Structure 1
Amino acid sequence: MCIVRVRRNHLVRDALDEIARQKAKDLFKPLRVHFIGEDGIDAGGVKKEFFQLLVAEVLSPDYGMLCYQPESRTYWFCPVTLEAESSFLLLGLVLGLAIYNGVLLDFPLPLALYRKILGQEVGLRDLEDMQPALGKSLRALLTWEGEGRVEDVFCQSFVVDVPSFGSVTSASLKPDGEALPVTDENRREFVDLYVDFWLNRSIHVQFEAFAKGFLMLCGGPALQLFSATELERLVCGNPFLDFDALQRAARYEGGFHPEHRVVQWLWQVVGQFNAEEKRLFLKFFTGSDRAPIGGLANLRCIVQRDGADSNKLPTSHTCFNTLLLPSYRSREKLADRLKLAILNSEGFGLE
C-alpha cells in the first residue's frame, strides 16, 4: 500500500510532503489515505474525498499556481508564480495518482494541456477555446481588410501584457519588440508569437515539471492511444449525468426493490433536483460528481434500507457506492432529510 497521512487544515502541504517522500515504486501501489484525527477507514471513499479537497485547494488563488479563465471556466498555468518547480511536478503526480487509482477529479483544465502532454502542437484554435475574447481579437487582426493600415487601426507592437500579482507587466515577443509595430506584412508572425507565448514560452518551466510528474505514473506507449478529449475524460469523467441510467443500473438490498414506495419516492425527488443538487447527490452517493467513462450506467450502485421510519439522515458508503436510506413514511420527509444530508456531507468521523 501507498499510505498518505494528512491533516485537513494543512491539506496541500501535508499531501505534497507525503507524496514527495514516497519511493517511486510505492506510487504504483494502491493508495490509502488517512485524515489525522478522524475515524474513516479508507476503502475508497476517503481517498476520493482527499483528491477532491486537494484539487479544490490547489485551484484556490491563494496558491498562485493556476489562473482561472472565466470565459472557458478552466484553469491554466500562471505565467508569473512564486511556486517552485517541485510543486508543479507534485501537482502532475497528483493527477497521475488519481487516474492510476480510478478517482475522477473536478479539475477543469483546457484541452490544450492534454494535447501538450500527448506531444501535439497547440495553436490559435486552442487559445480561442481557452480565452475566446482574446482569440477573437487575434483572429480579427489576421483577417483585417478594412480601411487604414493595420498599424494605424490596431496600434499594436510586439509585446504582450502579463498579469503579475495584481499588476500588469509587458514582455517582448522578440528582441526590441516594443519598438516594432504590427503591420500587414508581419501580423501573422505577431499572432504566432503571441499564441506561442501564452501556450508554451511563458509557462514552459511550469508545464515541463507538471508533465514530468504526470508521466511518471501515466507515461508509456499506451498513452498515445488516447486523444486529448479521451485523456480529459479519464481525469474528469463525463460531465453528462444520465440519472435514468443510474436508476436502471441500481441494485437494492435490505428489503428495498424497484417497486418499493420509498425507492419510487427517492427517484422522484432526485428527478426534481436542479443540476447542482443532482451533482451533490451523486457526490454524496458515490464520492464523485462526475460519471465514469461509459456513463452512470457503469456505476455499480446500491440503495439499501436502513431501518424503519426515523428522523435520522440518509448516509452512504462512498467506497462501495451504497446509499443507506431509512424507510421514511412520506415523500416530503424523504426529500427534506435527503437535501439536508447532501448539503452537509463532508468528513469521515469527528476530529
Structure 2
Amino acid sequence: MQVEIIEGRVARNGLPSTTANLDESVISALQCLHFFYHVNQEARLIKYTEFYNESLNSFIDFMDDFKRFREKQFALCNFPFVLTVTTKANILKLESSVLMREKLQLAFFRALFVGVNPPYLLLTIRRDYIIEDALVQLQHKSHEDLKKQLKVKFVNEEGIDEGGVQKEFFQLAMRELIDPKYGMFEINDDSRLCWFVRSPLDDELALDEYNMVGRLIGLAIYNGIILDIPFPSALYKKLALAAESPGDLRKLDGSWDLDDLAEIDPTLAKGLRQLETFEGDVLEAYDRTFQIEYKSLGQTYQHDLVPNGSSIPLTNANRSEFIKEYLRFLFTTSIAKQFNAFSEGFHLVTLGSAIQLFRPEEVEQLICGSPEIDFNALEQITQYEGGFNAKSRIIRWFWETVHAYDEKDKKRLLFFATGSDRVPIGGLGHLSFTISKNGPDSMRLPTSHTCYNTLMLCAYSTKERLQERLMTAIGNAEGFGLM
C-alpha cells in the first residue's frame, strides 16, 4: 500500500527532482516502509529487493540527495532500502568523481603556494614483485592520499594508465593475494570460496598484508574497478557490521548460522546439522568434548571453544551451545586479527562514503559485479566508430560469433576488451562499449583500448578469419601496452 502511495504521487505529480520538495504523503509512506523493512529484517518474509522503488530511483537527483544526507538533513538516502543497487552504485561513482576532482585541484593549489604535492595516487609496480611493491607504497598512504585518483605504472612498459592498466593491476594483485600458496587465504575444496587462514597470527608483516588487501578492495570500489574474488557473503556481512560499530568486537560476532557456514564449507555444515538433529545419545555416539581440532597451512591445532573445553563433554543438552561456539570460532575469534587488519584497510578508503548505503549483499555486487553475462544486452548498447555500424557485415559476423561463445570465452572477450571479465552492477546494458574499425582486411589480431572499453577490429574478408583472429587475441589477453 505504501509503495502504491509513492508510485501514485509520482504518476500524478511527476515527482520533484529534489528531496526538499517531496510530498508529505511520500515522506509518511517512507517512514512506514522503514518500520516494515526492519520488521522484515528479523522475520525475513520477503526479499529485500521487494522494497526497491523504481519511481523514486527514476526521478530524484541523488547527488543532491546524498549531499543533504551528509549534512544530516532529510534525504531519501536515510531510507536506502528503497534505492536500487544500481542507484547506489551511481551515487558512489558520482561521489568518487567529485572527491577525486577536489583532491586534484587541492594538489595543484598546494603546488603553487606550499610545494610539490602529487595530484594522483601513483603506484609504480614491477610485474615480478606486484605484492611487495604495492605493500611498500600503500602502507604509509593517508586517508587523503587514498582518495586521489589512482594511476598505475608497470616498470619498463609503455602503458599509459587511463583506466586499463589499473584494471590489470587489480586483477593480478588480487589473484596472487588470495592464492593459497601465499598463506593468507584458504580455498575450500567443495565451495571453491576462500576464507581467512585460521592459524594463530603474531606476524606484523602478515597483518600489514591483510590491511593491504582491504585497502586494495576499497581502492577498487573507489576507482570503479570490479574484481574477481571468491569471498563468501559472510565477509560482506562482517564488513557491514564493522562499519556500523567500529571497534566493537562483540558486534562482529554477528548472528552466524549454519546457512552462513554451508556457503563456505558445506561438508562441515552438513555434519553440524546432523549433530543438531541427532535423535540418539550424543554423548555416546560422538564421544567428544568442547575442544576442536583443525588444520591450517599444513599444521594441526587444538582449540577450546569455551574455557576448559577439553574437559566438557558434548551432550544432547549442550549441543546447541557447541554449534554456536563453533560458528563463533570460525567466523570471529579464529580470524579476529586477520579480519580486523583487513577491515581497517578497507574502511580507511571507504569510511564516510556512500558505501554505507549498501547492504552486505549489495556490497558483494559492487565489488564482484553481476553474475549474469548477457551479450544481447551488450549488443544493444554498443557504439560503432571508424565506418562500422550495426548493419556492417563484419559486425554481424562478430555478434553471430560471440553469441555462440560459452561462458568461459565470453569472459575472456570481456577481459580482452574491457580489462575485466566481470559484469558491472545492472548488467552489461550499463557498460559503455565501442567497436571501432582498425583498417582494411589483414592478418592483424584485434586489439583493444581497455581504458575506454573499445574493441578494434580490422575489416576481415571472411567470417572464418574473424573467428580465428578474435579467438587468438582473447586467448592471449594479459599484458598491457600502447595500442
Paired residues in the alignment total 348
Amino acid in the other structure paired with 1:296? L
Q: What residue in structure 2 maps to residue 123 of structure 1?
A: 256
Runs of 4+ in 1 over 6 A off after TM superposition: none
* Structure 1 spans left out of the alignment, 5+ residues: none
Q: What residue in structure 2 maps to residue 84 of structure 1?
A: 206
Q: What residue in structure 2 maps to residue 290 of structure 1?
A: 422
CA apart distance, 1:167: 3.0
CA apart distance, 1:224: 3.6
Amino acid in the other structure paired with 1:255? G
1:154-186 deviations in whole A, cap 9, x for unaligned?
A: 222212222132132221112222232210111
CA apart distance, 1:61: 1.9
1:59-82 deviations in whole A, cap 9, x for unaligned?
A: 112211111123222111001155
Q: Distance in 2 between matches of 1:335 and 1:153?
A: 62
1:230 to 347, 358, 362: 362
Bigger radius of gyration among the two: 2
SS in 2 for 1:267: helix
Share of identical aligned residues, percent?
A: 43
2:295 to 151, 160, 163: 163
CA apart distance, 1:3: 0.4
Q: TM-score, normalised by structure 1?
A: 0.96
Q: Distance in 2 between matches of 1:140 and 1:221?
A: 43
| Structure whose residues are more often helix by fraction | 2
Instruction: Map 1:143-222; keep pairs closer than 5 Å.
Output: 143-145=277-279, 148-220=280-352, 222=354
User: Does 285-294 or 164-173 show the bigger shift?
Assistant: 164-173
Kept in 2: contact 1:118–1:223 (CA 8 A):
no
Q: Distance in 1 between matches of 2:365 and 2:351?
A: 17
1:226-258 deviations in whole A, cap 9, x for unaligned?
A: 111100011111121110000111010111111
Kept in 2: contact 1:116–1:122 (CA 8 A):
no
User: Does 110-119 or 162-171 show the bigger shift?
Assistant: 162-171
SS in 1 for 2:439: coil
Q: Distance in 2 between matches of 1:21 and 1:222?
A: 24
Instruction: Map 1:1-351; keep pairs closer than 5 Å.
Output: 1-80=120-199, 84-119=206-241, 121-124=254-257, 125-145=259-279, 148-220=280-352, 222-349=354-481
Kept in 1: contact 2:227–2:367 (CA 8 A):
yes
Q: TM-score, normalised by structure 2?
A: 0.70
CA apart distance, 1:221: 6.9
Q: Distance in 2 between matches of 1:219 and 1:131?
A: 30
Amino acid in the other structure paired with 2:261? L
Q: Distance in 2 between matches of 1:186 and 1:3?
A: 55
